[in-house]
């Protein structure tokens, strides 16, 4: 019956026929290709992940590992303390980030000053950037966190949190200043020339013309550095700041179980992935804009 | 004097070609020399530009026209020679260069608009930050200037939404917003598609009629011939020949000028038979 109805309809639409059939001819194979590639991606991902899980779960000592790393009871009992301690990481991260954005910019600008008069400034900032990029972060945190309070200079703070912020700011400002500097260098000199030609001073040209363009261009790499900073906040546990990693160590010691570390790992994944996706989105948007601008 | 009216009083000023030779000297160059490494680009340039005068610099690419303009406002430091604006030497060691540049407008071949600012902000930035004009007044003046050049509808747009001709007109308006005593134009139509050249040249002609003192580096020989008071032919970093456009284009005395104009005619940039 259906076949008859179909064939009966066909002669009834002779004019609309070609017009309607042409998108159908092009359409379905295209849709099919897209669906097929999505399906292929899903299947291959499932197969690979499934195999990995099978390998892990069938490992000779899996039950023991499962007990000490993936213990549901320990997970839920340690989570509140871990989340509570994470607030310290958030505070570290937020305060340091603001300081880094400011200090890194100052260093970048000082390092970009032209002419022989500013040679000492350029040398000093270059030495700073070189040293703090060369040193492992943990060492900086140790040296500042134990060394400066050890001097016992009156009036100098002794709070580990203070030295944690100081160390993270010094470490990351060195990287961030280089990112800024790349941004400043990427603004064509003719922009500065145009600003100076209008009578703007060197500082005004930098402030109103060069830096706004430079900063806009380096937002994605800056966010990338901040993802790193977010993770490196755990390093300050070494100088006695009770943050998420220290809290999970305490829980681990109390329960003789490593599940608190897994909980901490999950917290970082949950916080970092959205930031990473946001960075990717920014990069993609900038690329689209550049392509549109080049029309 | 507010921005848009700054040029009006001069509208009935001296017509091109009919300049009194005793008009005040705005720009005086003495023995300007400039080298990039071993390449000598300017080899001793002397030039005097009087108020309301329009001087066109012509010559082959690489003859030093653009470099000369960039040396006048000291964006390009000179190796030797002196630059005077209104009889004050601006190449003297203790001169505040930023203050001098306020009075010299320059428009570049590549527009060099600020891409992160609207057209209105491009125009209002220097008056606000350099002359400390309050924002509201600076923006009103900028809008009035844009309106005068038919760009009021583009005020809120960003530069990359404009055609090349519109961008270059905005760049000219941006320079005018500082009410300069002298305007330098560096091959302002060379980066434009041919059909956009006329609108920019129209703006420059209007400025010339308004009495703006201008030094213009250009490849537009027809424009130089009918708009300049004086034409200077630059060759290998020297002004080889200068005079009224009629004489330079029709009766050049130097063989090199003659050959340059011949090439221009062959390229279709000047009417055949212009040289006698």
Tens digit of each residue's pLDDT (9 = 90 or more) over B183-220? 999 999 988 888 889 899 999 999 999 999 999 999 98
Q: Which pLDDT does position B19 carry in this prediction?
A: 54
Q: Which pLDDT does position A282 carry in this prediction?
A: 83
- Look at A200 and B129 and tell me if their CB atoms are within 8 Å: yes
- C-alpha radius of gyration, chain B, whole number: 18
CB B189 within 8 A of CB B200: yes
The token duo for A57 is 């779960």
Alpha helices in chain B (DSSP H): 65-72, 97-102, 119-129, 135-148, 164-176, 194-209, 221-227, 245-250, 255-266
Q: Which residue(s) pair with B217 in the sheet?
A: B57, B186
Q: Residues of chain A with pLDDT > 90: what percent?
A: 53
Q: Which pLDDT does position A240 carry in this prediction?
A: 86
Window from A137-141, B18-22, B267-271 with minimum mean pLDDT: B18-22
A17: pLDDT strictly greater than 80: no
A27: pLDDT strictly greater than 90: no
Alpha helices in A13-159 (DSSP H): 16-57, 62-69, 72-112, 119-134, 137-142, 148-151
B51: pLDDT strictly greater than 60: yes
- Look at A198 and B160 and tell me if their CB atoms are within 8 Å: no
| Cα gap A181→A116, rounded to integer Å | 19
| Short-list A8, A239, A35, A201, CA closest to B96 | A201
Helix (H, G, I), strand (E, B) or coil at A166: helix
A154: pLDDT strictly greater than 80: yes
Kindly list the distances between the CA atom of residue A171 and the CA atoms of A92, A124, B120, in Å, as whole numbers in the listed order.
Answer: 14, 16, 41
Backbone angles phi, psi at A74, to 5 degrees: -65, -40
A48: pLDDT strictly greater than 50: yes
Mutate to test the interface with A, among B129, B159, B215 (most CBs of A within 10 A): B129
A12: pLDDT strictly greater than 90: no
Window from A109-118, A132-141, B42-51 with minimum mean pLDDT: A109-118
Q: Which pLDDT does position A16 carry in this prediction?
A: 42
Tens digit of each residue's pLDDT (9 = 90 or more) over B163-177? 999 999 999 999 999
Q: Which pLDDT does position A11 carry in this prediction?
A: 43
Q: Which residue(s) pair with B89 in the sheet?
A: B84
Average per-residue pLDDT for chain A: 85
The token duo for A193 is 């020339």
Backbone angles phi, psi at A282, to 5 degrees: -60, -45
Backbone angles phi, psi at A118, to 5 degrees: -95, 10
A10: pLDDT strictly greater than 50: no
| Cα gap A192→A198, rounded to integer Å | 10
| Cα gap B152→B173, rounded to integer Å | 11
By Cβ distance, the residue of A197, A208, A213 closest to B125 is A208
The token duo for A49 is 């992940």
Tens digit of each residue's pLDDT (9 = 90 or more) over B79-99? 999 999 988 899 888 888 888
Q: Which pLDDT does position A288 carry in this prediction?
A: 78
For chain B, counts of helices (H) and of strands (E): 9, 10
- Look at A199 and B116 and tell me if their CB atoms are within 8 Å: no
Helix (H) or strand (E) holding A153: none
Tens digit of each residue's pLDDT (9 = 90 or more) over A174-227? 999 999 999 999 999 999 999 999 999 999 999 999 999 999 889 889 998 999
Q: Please give the residue that has the higher pLDDT: either B8 or B252.
A: B252
How do B88-89 and B80-85 pair as beta strands? antiparallel
Instruction: Give the list of residues 6+ apart from residue A241 with CB closer than 8 angstroms, or none.
Output: A88, A92, A160, A161, A164
Tens digit of each residue's pLDDT (9 = 90 or more) over A76-89? 998 999 999 999 99
Chain B CB contacts of A290 below 8 Å: none
Residue in A with minimal Cα distance to B103: A199
Kindly list the distances between the CA atom of residue B241 and the CA atoms of B71, B201, B232, B235, B252, in Å, as whole numbers in the listed order.
Answer: 20, 24, 6, 9, 8
Kindly list the distances between the CA atom of residue A167 and the CA atoms of A100, A145, A160, A222, in Å, as whole numbers in the listed order.
Answer: 11, 8, 10, 18
| Cα gap A170→A236, rounded to integer Å | 13
Window from A42-46, A55-59, A130-134, B231-235 with minimum mean pLDDT: A55-59
Residue in B with minimal Cα distance to A213: B116
CB B249 within 8 A of CB B228: no
Q: Which pLDDT does position A92 carry in this prediction?
A: 94
Q: Which pLDDT does position A18 carry in this prediction?
A: 44
B7: pLDDT strictly greater than 70: no
Helix (H, G, I), strand (E, B) or coil at A139: helix
ipTM comes to: 0.86
CB B236 within 8 A of CB B201: no
Angle between helical axes of A72-112 and A160-186 (0-180°, round to 10): 50
- Model's pTM, two decimal places? 0.79
Q: Please give the residue that has the higher pLDDT: either B199 or A1.
A: B199
Helix (H) or strand (E) holding B228: none
A20: pLDDT strictly greater than 70: no
User: Is A199 near chain B, with CB under 8 Å?
Assistant: yes
Confidence grade of residue B14 (pLDDT, cut at 50, 70, 90): very low
Mean pLDDT along residues A94-112? 95
Tens digit of each residue's pLDDT (9 = 90 or more) over B120-165? 999 999 999 999 999 999 999 999 999 999 999 999 999 999 999 9
Q: Which pLDDT does position B147 carry in this prediction?
A: 94
Confidence grade of residue A291 (pLDDT, cut at 50, 70, 90): low
User: Is A190 near chain B, with CB under 8 Å?
Assistant: yes
| Short-list B65, B48, B59, B158, CA closest to B113 | B158
Instruction: Give the list of residues 6+ apart from residue A125 with CB closer than 8 angstroms, or none.
Output: A107, A110, A111, A177
Mutate to test the interface with B, among A116, A199, A204, A218 (most CBs of B within 10 A): A199
């Amino acid at each position: 019956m259906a076949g008859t109805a179909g064939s009966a309809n066909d002669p009834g639409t002779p004019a609309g026929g070609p017009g309607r059939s042409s998108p159908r001819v092009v359409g379905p194979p295209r849709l099919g290709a897209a669906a097929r590639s999505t399906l292929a991606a899903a299947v291959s991902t499932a197969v690979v992940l499934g195999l990995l899980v099978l390998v892990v779960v069938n490992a000779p000592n899996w039950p023991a590992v499962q007990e000490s790393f993936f213990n549901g009871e320990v997970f839920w009992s340690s989570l509140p303390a871990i989340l509570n301690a994470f607030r310290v990481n958030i505070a570290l991260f937020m305060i340091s980030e603001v300081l880094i954005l400011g200090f890194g910019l100052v260093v970048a600008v000082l390092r970009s000053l032209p002419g022989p008069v500013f040679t000492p400034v350029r040398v000093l900032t270059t030495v700073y950037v070189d040293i703090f990029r060369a040193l492992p972060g943990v060492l900086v945190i140790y040296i500042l966190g134990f060394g400066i309070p050890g001097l016992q200079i009156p009036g100098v703070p002794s709070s580990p949190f203070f030295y944690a912020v100081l160390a993270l700011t010094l470490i990351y400002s060195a990287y961030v200043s280089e990112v800024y500097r790349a941004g400043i260098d990427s603004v064509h000199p003719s922009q500065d020339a145009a600003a100076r030609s209008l009578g703007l001073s060197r500082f005004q040209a930098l402030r109103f013309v060069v830096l706004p363009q430079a900063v806009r261009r380096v937002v994605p790499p800056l966010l990338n550095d901040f993802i790193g900073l977010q993770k490196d906040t755990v390093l300050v546990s070494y100088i006695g700041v009770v943050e998420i990693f220290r809290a999970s160590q305490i829980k681990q010691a109390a329960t003789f179980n490593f599940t608190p570390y897994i909980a901490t790992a999950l917290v970082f994944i949950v916080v970092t992935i959205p930031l990473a996706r946001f960075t990717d989105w920014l990069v993609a948007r900038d690329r689209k804009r550049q392509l549109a601008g080049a029309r | 004097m507010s921005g848009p009216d700054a040029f009006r009083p001069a509208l009935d000023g001296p017509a091109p070609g009919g300049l009194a030779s005793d008009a005040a000297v705005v720009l005086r160059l003495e023995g300007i020399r400039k080298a990039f490494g071993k390449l000598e680009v300017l080899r001793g340039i002397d030039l005097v530009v009087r108020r309301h005068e329009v001087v066109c610099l012509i010559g082959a690419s690489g003859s030093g026209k653009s470099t000369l303009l960039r040396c006048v406002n000291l964006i390009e430091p000179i190796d030797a020679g002196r630059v005077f604006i209104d009889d004050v030497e601006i190449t003297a060691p203790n001169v505040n260069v930023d203050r001098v540049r306020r009075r010299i407008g320059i428009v570049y071949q590549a527009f060099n608009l600020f891409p992160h600012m609207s057209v209105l902000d491009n125009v209002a930035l220097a008056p606000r930050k350099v002359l400390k004009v309050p924002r509201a007044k600076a923006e009103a003046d900028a809008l009035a200037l844009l309106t005068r050049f038919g760009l009021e509808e583009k005020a809120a747009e960003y530069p990359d939404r404009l055609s090349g001709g519109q961008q270059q007109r905005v760049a000219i308006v941006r320079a005018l917003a500082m009410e300069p005593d002298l305007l330098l134009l560096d091959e302002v139509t060379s980066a434009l598609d041919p059909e956009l050249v006329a609108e920019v040249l129209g703006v420059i002609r209007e400025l010339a009629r308004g009495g703006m003192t201008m030094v213009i580096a250009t490849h537009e020989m027809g424009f130089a011939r009918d708009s300049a008071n004086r034409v200077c032919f630059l060759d290998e970093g020297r002004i080889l020949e200068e005079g009224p456009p009629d004489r330079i284009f029709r009766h050049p005395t130097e063989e090199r000028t003659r050959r340059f104009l011949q090439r221009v005619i062959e390229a279709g940039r000047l009417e055949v038979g212009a040289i006698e």
